[in-house]
Amino acid sequence: MKRYLVTGGAGFIGSNFILHLLHGEHCARVVNVDALTYAGNLENLRSVEDDPRYAFYQADIRDPEAMSAIIEAEQPDYVVNFAAESHVDRSIEDPGIFESTNVGGTVNLLNVCRAAWEQADGGYGEHRYLQVSTDEVYGTLSLDEPDSFFIERTPLSPHSPYSASKASADLFVGAYGDTFGMPVLITRCSNNYGPYQFPEKLIPLMIHNACHHEALPVYGDGLNVRDWLFVEDHCAAIDLVLREGRIGEVYNVGGHNERANIDIVETIIRLVGERLDDPEINSSLITFVEDRKGHDRRYGIDASKIAAELGWRPETPFEAGIEKTIDWYLSHPSWVEHVTSGAYQDYYEKMYGHRGAAAEA
Ligand code: NAD
Ligand code: TYD
């Protein structure tokens, strides 16, 4: 039975990970540390608020005193760092916060864990630090070579400020393993989709706009390819790497599911239109817009290492995952309304007596 500290646990993947842990049986405690930026929504965790194994702290991973105090009080075996600024388009608008949170926050967390865990003989006992990274650190693949994939040894070659910050953080994590012997692990996953994703990312944005008969903005020619991974499969992979992965290793996590953006958008139009029985949800909503700056053409993950070493494979076929996702969004209109209007801040205030970092900014 382990004690987990999860940073960024009010975000999309972090909250799914906490729900995954608390539905399992090997977790003694889950401590969620989140600054509650615009992307952090505690409503995601309503179903576990009363679980005695769960605790929430509002804190910033860049804050050494706050993070040290939480680690001292909670004594986690494992720290899993999800906390980040995660949207590429925002990183093009404002790179600085990506450097500060994703790089500075990670380095601070490593320092705090090292100070709390390092023993007199230089060992770290059974502790582990896992950095949740992204395939975007590898840069881009070509559409002309569909048989080439990112492997763990593919050189890092990030193109966006977001992926540059994640690659930089990965290098620090590796350096703390090499220099200080810290028990670190890195996972690099492909694009996640599923419940609780903020509707600024492709899939939830398209579902939201289709429902409201709004334009579906497709960047460039719509032929950019992403490898889509259902979030619950990703959560299972992270927990497995944490418990059974080899210290110091990087593990790619992918969906074996490459799709062009335009195909994703057309699938969403078809499924949402069918479910709402609404002929006005059709391809006339598709609007090709100016391409994203530095837009990576294709991501494709080779996840054979985690399959061979740990026996992990994605279990959710895309057809099933996208139907589950669409059904979740259609049956949670108030969740979407709260995150798009900012009303989700009311929930923090009710629970914690003040509004989150996004409202204070
Ligand atoms: P998200 O944007 O939904 O959530 C990020 C969370 O981090 C939010 O709850 C936010 O409040 C919190 N946060 C931000 N800055 C913080 C700070 N300084 N201190 C404490 N908390 C802070 O992101 P996500 O999509 O859930 O991604 C989680 C992690 O997975 C990120 O590290 C991201 O780079 C990585 N990742 C995501 C994807 C994807 O498809 N979403 C793919 C690969 C990797
Ligand atoms: P996104 O969900 O932002 O994830 P990432 O940039 O991390 O891959 O975007 C996924 C793909 O969809 C990416 O190629 C950009 C494209 N895209 C659009 O075409 N329109 C949109 O409105 C958004 C948000 C993304």
- Give the pocket of ligand 1 (CB within 6 Å): 7-8, 10-14, 34-37, 39-40, 60-62, 82-84, 86, 101, 105, 132, 134, 166, 189, 191-192, 198
pLDDT over 90 (residue 360): no
Domain assignment present for residue 361? The answer is no
Domain count, the chain: 1
- CA atoms within 13 A of residue 313's CA, in its CB half-sphere: 7
CATH code, domain with 252: 3.40.50.720
**Range of the structural domain that residue 236 is part of:** 2-194+230-259+296-317
Map tokens 């991974």 to a residue. Answer: 229
DSSP at 136: G
Task: Reply yes or no on whether 65 is catalytic.
Answer: no
Band the pLDDT of 358: cuts 50, 70, 90: low
Rounded Cα distance between 338 and 67, Å, is: 29
Q: Where are the alpha helices (DSSP H) in 212-317?
A: 231-244, 261-276, 304-310
Residues paired with residue 250 on neighbouring β-strands, in sequence order: 186
Domain assignment present for residue 350? The answer is no
261 lines ligand 2 (CB under 6 A): yes
Map tokens 């992270």 to a residue. Answer: 238
The model's pLDDT over 158-217, given as tens digits with 9 standing for 90+, comes to 999 999 999 999 999 999 999 999 999 999 999 999 999 999 999 999 999 999 999 999
Q: Is residue 18 a contact partner of residue 54, using CB atoms and an 8 Å limit? A: yes
Band the pLDDT of 339: cuts 50, 70, 90: confident
Q: Which of 27-31, 275-279, 356-360 has the lowest mean pLDDT?
A: 356-360
The one catalytic residue in 136, 227, 239, 266 is 136
Domain assignment present for residue 177? The answer is yes
At residue 136's C-alpha, the angle toward residues 32 and 209, to 5°, is: 75
Domain assignment present for residue 86? The answer is yes
Domain assignment present for residue 224? The answer is no
pLDDT over 60 (residue 314): yes
Domain assignment present for residue 324? The answer is no
Average pLDDT over residues 333-353: 76
Q: Is residue 83 a contact partner of residue 61, using CB atoms and an 8 Å limit? A: yes
Average pLDDT over residues 338-351: 72
Q: Give the closest residue to 231 by CA, choosing from 86, 19, 81, 77.
A: 19
Task: Reply yes or no on whether 193 is catalytic.
Answer: no
The model's pLDDT over 240-294, given as tens digits with 9 standing for 90+, comes to 999 999 999 999 999 889 999 999 999 999 999 999 999 999 999 999 999 999 9
**Strand duo 225-227 + 258-260: pairing:** antiparallel
Domain assignment present for residue 360? The answer is no
Domain assignment present for residue 51? The answer is yes
The one catalytic residue in 78, 138, 162, 176 is 162
The beta strand positions in 139-239, using DSSP E, are 184-189, 192-193, 216-219, 225-227, 229-230
Percent of the chain at pLDDT > 90 equals 91
